[in-house]
């Protein structure tokens, strides 16, 4: 089986983000933004609960054969997410809020997908 076409990968990514958003909302998070972009990068999901603004990187794989997709968030990707998150906080006048960086991994698709939430998966230490 070959690699998925670009449109298929985007479709898989959208399904994973839908699963992640559903999971977060069920946990009481309010989603502020999805796929927010700036010159520093893209934020998959921005959510808030109480005084915490959470920047969530969503990773997916169709199967767990190659390991947990959460492990694919490289140090370089973490730095891009942090820079974009700081830009988001300033752009939306949220500088005084606490922030957290989470990863949600989604393995599979549809009702059979498993969602794992890793709160505080990385920090803003640059």
Residue 43 belongs to a domain with what CATH number? 3.40.1350.10
Classify residue 63 by its DSSP letter. Answer: -
Boundaries of domain holding 88 = 6-62+78-122
Would you state the pLDDT for residue 65? 47
> Domain for residue 12, yes or no?
yes
**pLDDT by residue (tens digit) across 51-82?**
999 999 998 865 554 555 555 678 899 999 99
Number of structural domains in the chain: 1
Sort 117 into a burial class: Cβ within 10 Å, 0-12 / 13-18 / 19+: middle
**pLDDT by residue (tens digit) across 9-43?**
566 668 889 999 999 999 999 999 999 999 999 99
> Domain for residue 67, yes or no?
no
Find the radius of gyration of the CA atoms of the chain: 14
Q: What residues have CB less than 8 Å from 53, skipping those under 6 apart?
A: 32, 46, 47, 89, 94, 97, 98, 99, 100
């Amino acid at each position: 089986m070959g690699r998925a076409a670009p449109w298929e990968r985007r479709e898989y990514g959208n399904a994973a983000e839908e699963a992640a958003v559903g999971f977060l909302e069920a946990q009481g998070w309010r989603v502020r933004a999805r796929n927010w972009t700036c010159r520093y990068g893209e934020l998959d999901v921005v959510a808030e609960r109480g005084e915490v603004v959470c920047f969530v990187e969503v990773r997916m794989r169709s199967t767990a054969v190659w390991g947990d997709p959460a492990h694919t968030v490289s140090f370089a990707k973490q730095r891009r997410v942090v820079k974009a998150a700081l830009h988001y906080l300033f752009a939306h006048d949220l500088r005084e809020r606490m922030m957290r960086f989470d990863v949600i991994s989604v393995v599979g698709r549809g009702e059979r997908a498993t969602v794992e939430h890793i709160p505080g998966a990385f920090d803003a230490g640059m």
